[in-house]
């Protein structure tokens, strides 16, 4: 379908209904071939990752997967280790699952429940709101500013039973605007339950 021909969702819906009624679909003027590079070109793949998958909200968890305070989910998302937590305040937050000391993952991939994460490498401990709360053998590290060494937070928003994350720190996130009219349909599914 040539989306340039259609001005809004109403136009698209009308065109689709017309196709159904006349048992047809959008067609090019002649058979066309899609270049193999469209699927295999590494540079194109990298651009898609950078411009789409690391810029737009990705639905990485369902509310129902981690409904209680302390619940967490750790995963690889497009090559990045991500940790989603639910704090005592009920808020879902997302972080890079990377210790600020020597970059070890602080949570194993999977799901669980805890209020703190202790890094397996040298025992630095983080609260599930991302703050660095403990440094084992702290005297051996010198004067460390714990407040400056919180986990790197990722933009995160929970909407209609879904937890969305943008995989670039500091990027804006506005899931209702991103979903547009689909939000009402998704909310009707009551995914949070």
What are the angstrom distances between the C-alpha of 69 and each of 63, 75, 86, 95? 12, 19, 5, 16
Q: Smallest gap, in angstroms, from Cβ of residue 83 to ligand FES?
A: 13
Q: Which residues contact 45 (CB under 8 A, 6 or more apart)?
A: none
Q: Give the position of tokens 């048992």.
A: 23
CB of 139 to ligand FES, least distance (A): 15
Count of residues that bind ligand FES according to CB under 6 A: 9
For residue 84, the minimal CB distance to ligand FES (Å) is 19
Nearer to ligand FES by Cβ, of 54 and 101: the residue is 101
Site string for ligand FES, 94-133 (x = CB under 6 A): -----x-xx-x--------------x-xxxx---------
Strand order in the sheet with 162-165: 58-62, 162-165, 156-159
Residue nearer to ligand FES on the CB measure, 88 or 102: 102
Q: Are strands 92-96 and 80-86 parallel, antiparallel or unpaired?
A: antiparallel
Contact 60, 155 (CB under 8 A): no
Ramachandran category for residue 78: left, alpha or beta (phi over 0 → left; psi -120 to 50 → alpha): left
Binding mask 46-85 for ligand FES (x = CB under 6 A): ----------------------------------------
CB of 131 to ligand FES, least distance (A): 15
- What does the binding site for ligand FES look like in residue numbers (CB under 6 A)? 99, 101-102, 104, 119, 121-124
């Amino acid at each position: 379908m040539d989306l340039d021909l259609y001005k809004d969702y109403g136009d698209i819906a009308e065109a689709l209904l017309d196709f159904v009624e006349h048992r047809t679909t959008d067609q090019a003027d002649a058979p066309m071939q899609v270049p193999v590079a469209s699927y295999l070109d590494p540079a194109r793949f990298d651009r898609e990752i950078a411009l789409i998958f690391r810029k737009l909200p990705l639905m990485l968890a369902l509310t129902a997967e981690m409904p209680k305070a302390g619940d967490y989910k750790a995963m690889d998302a497009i090559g990045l280790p991500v940790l989603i937590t639910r704090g005592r305040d009920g808020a879902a937050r997302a972080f890079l699952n990377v210790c600020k000391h020597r970059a070890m993952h602080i949570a194993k991939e999977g799901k669980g429940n805890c209020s703190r994460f202790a890094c397996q490498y040298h025992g630095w401990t983080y609260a599930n709101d991302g703050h660095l709360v403990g440094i084992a053998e702290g005297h051996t590290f010198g004067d460390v500013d714990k407040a400056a060494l919180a986990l790197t937070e990722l933009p995160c928003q929970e909407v209609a039973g879904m937890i969305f994350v943008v995989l670039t720190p500091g990027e804006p996130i506005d899931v209702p605007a991103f979903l547009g009219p689909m939000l009402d349909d998704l909310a009707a599914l009551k995914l949070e339950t």
